[in-house]
């Protein structure tokens, strides 16, 4: 777990974690300072950049698999699970990666797949000959 995850998941209620004594936690809370808005925003941005990099690498991997199998026409590159408020950020990252209009990147409608809400991400590939 990185620093951003620890910061976000750190709960400051009165129930101490199992590995921290009650006295230690109260001392920690007395020393705790609320970060500035800029620092907090930078922390969130750094976490998103890590997620975005992982997502873009997944898209690149799936794209390479499509090329290896000589696919053409409209192809599904990824299935995006809608589970949080970052869906628009993932869609933006997808459109940034496939910004060339010849790829015809498109995002499908919300649908149910295995009980989850998903959107399919598509691109158009040229004929391989």
pLDDT digits (tens, 9 = 90+) for 28-69: 888 888 989 999 999 999 999 999 999 999 999 999 999 999
109 within domain boundaries: yes
35 within domain boundaries: no
Q: How far apart are CA 105 and CA 101, in angstroms?
A: 7
When mean pLDDT is compared across 7-21, 41-55, 99-113, the lowest value belongs to: 7-21
- pLDDT at 1 (0 to 100): 53
74 within domain boundaries: yes
Domain extent at residue 117: 52-125
- pLDDT at 53 (0 to 100): 97
38 within domain boundaries: no
- pLDDT at 4 (0 to 100): 53
Residue 79 pLDDT more than 50?
yes
Return the closest-CA partner of residue 126 out of 108, 105, 102.
Answer: 102
2 within domain boundaries: no
Q: How far apart are CA 22 and CA 10, in angstroms?
A: 15
Helix (H) or strand (E) holding 121: strand 116-125
Residue, of 2 and 129, whose pLDDT is higher: 129
108 within domain boundaries: yes
- pLDDT at 129 (0 to 100): 76
Q: What is the pTM of this model?
A: 0.72
Total domains in the fold of the chain: 1
- pLDDT at 31 (0 to 100): 85
């Amino acid at each position: 777990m990185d620093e951003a995850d620890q910061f976000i998941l750190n709960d400051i209620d009165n129930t101490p974690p199992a590995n921290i004594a009650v006295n230690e936690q109260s001392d920690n809370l007395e020393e705790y300072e609320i970060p500035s808005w800029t620092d907090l925003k930078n922390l969130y941005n750094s976490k998103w950049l890590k997620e975005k990099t992982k997502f873009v690498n997944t898209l690149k991997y799936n794209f390479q698999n499509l090329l290896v199998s000589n696919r053409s026409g409209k192809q599904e590159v990824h299935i995006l699970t809608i589970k949080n408020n970052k869906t628009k950020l993932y869609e933006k990252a997808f459109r940034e990666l496939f910004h060339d209009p010849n790829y015809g990147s498109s995002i499908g409608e919300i649908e149910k797949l295995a009980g989850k809400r998903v959107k399919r991400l598509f691109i158009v590939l040229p004929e391989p000959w």
